[in-house]
Amino acid sequence: MTLQRARRALVAGLVAAATLVPIAASVTAAVPTAAAAALQQVMFVGNNWDGTVDVIRPSGAYTRLGRINVVPDKTQRLWEIYLNPVKLAFYLGVQQGPGEGHDQLVDDMYTTPDGSALVVSRPSFADVVSIDLRTGALRWRFPVSGFRSDHMAVSPDGTRVAVSASTSNTVHVLDIVTGRQVGSFGTGDKPHENVYTAGGRFLWNMSIGEVNTALDDPWLDWTKGDRHITVVDTATFQTAKVIDMRQRLDAYGRTDLSDAVRPAVFTPDESTLYFQVSFFNGFVEYDVAADRITRIATLPKNPATSEDRTTWVNDSRHHGLSMSPDGSRVCVAGTMDDYATVVDRSTLTPGPLVTASKPYWATVSADGRDCVISESGADQVTAISFATGQKVASVAVGDHPQRVRLGRVATDWTAPR
């Protein structure tokens, strides 16, 4: 679609809309809450392509409790984009690239400590917003630097949220209640995953480089940019350490693997990091103290999966990791191979391959018994028992679920109308 045709199509739709949402300040003060409410734990599922978040039970039957619209200001945001040629170019680039022809309207989400608001990163709108869970209204909006927001992480005390700004190689750290920036730091190319460690003292960011080109042959790996892990001190936002996995992979003898670190998970004692890399059907084990790769797990390929790397979504063959609370098992989302499996950590042996349609993320249920994956190709989330490796439940959600996070809402919560 040309820019001119895109403009005409959008303007026609906007003219038909009844009203525009009033223009809000970039960051406004959060709405004060009343007396603290009793809270219940729930699970949030971000439906990236339709701009909604489903709220489901966090264990057991995983029944759906309600749905939240996280783009109540969509009309206003689109007006701003289509009236700015630079923003429009990047918006269409996100849509046709990582969005696979769709808007990316919700990437990641966390609740505020009091369970009154949901904080959401919205890639196509290049922002982070806070949505009131009672009313569905915006409390605040923070536009990130550059033109796309991505993965987030919440500090262990729940007071800060870190968000990757993909196109500016920056991580912003915000006060989760007010939306005001408390710090930021530079990263490698295309910051992606964020993980807090040491009780919140450090923040790890993994940069994945350029994933939207067709230059995917191994010999063209140099075109993907500067990819490394940046570890910062969260008191000062100064870099404490930079880890280049290219050097570690080469030392292990795997010069063939990409050094673009994708989803990652630490053991409970944070001594070992497990991570996925671009184009690889498996994951890597890294000893933090020794600063070296110790083992690499290669998982089964699906014979039906094309070996044409340019057909894999955003350079990821497998995308999604979680770990059982006791640290004995790793759950893997085999995205392009259409399965998920629970791997014995001691032997790196996979369990049953549970058929799943483009699983995109993996997390842990509230009771710690299950791995919960998002099936972006089937519009459902599925729970797999850590103990047996077998599927235990599935629940339908919205269009193209990706991130799945635990959070809290009031015990008497109902979805906004």
**Residue 19 pLDDT > 50, yes or no?**
no
Q: What digits encode the pLDDT tens for the residues 42-64? A: 999 999 999 999 999 999 999 99
For residues 359 and 400, is the Cβ–Cβ distance under 8 A?
A: no
For residues 323 and 229, is the Cβ–Cβ distance under 8 A?
A: no
pTM for the complete prediction? 0.90
Strands 229-233 and 202-207: antiparallel
Q: Which domains does the chain have, with CATH numbers?
A: 3-26+39-410 (2.130.10.10)
The pLDDT-based confidence of 217 (bands split at 50, 70, 90) is confident
Q: What integer pLDDT is reported at residue 389 of this predicted model?
A: 98
Ranges 39-48, 133-142, 310-319: which has the least confidence: 310-319
Q: What integer pLDDT is reported at residue 213 of this predicted model?
A: 83
The strand ranges marked E within 187-271 are: 191-197, 202-207, 229-233, 239-243, 261-266
Token couple for 25: 């300040």
**For residue 181, which of 163, 197, 196 has the smallest C-alpha distance?**
163
- DSSP calls for 287-342: ETTTTEEEEEEEPPPPTTS---GGGSGGG-SS--EEE-TTSSEEEEEEGGGTEEEE
Q: What integer pLDDT is reported at residue 36 of this predicted model?
A: 63
CA 46 and chain centroid, separation: 9
Neighbours of 189 (CB within 10 A): 17
Token couple for 72: 């109540």
The pLDDT-based confidence of 96 (bands split at 50, 70, 90) is confident
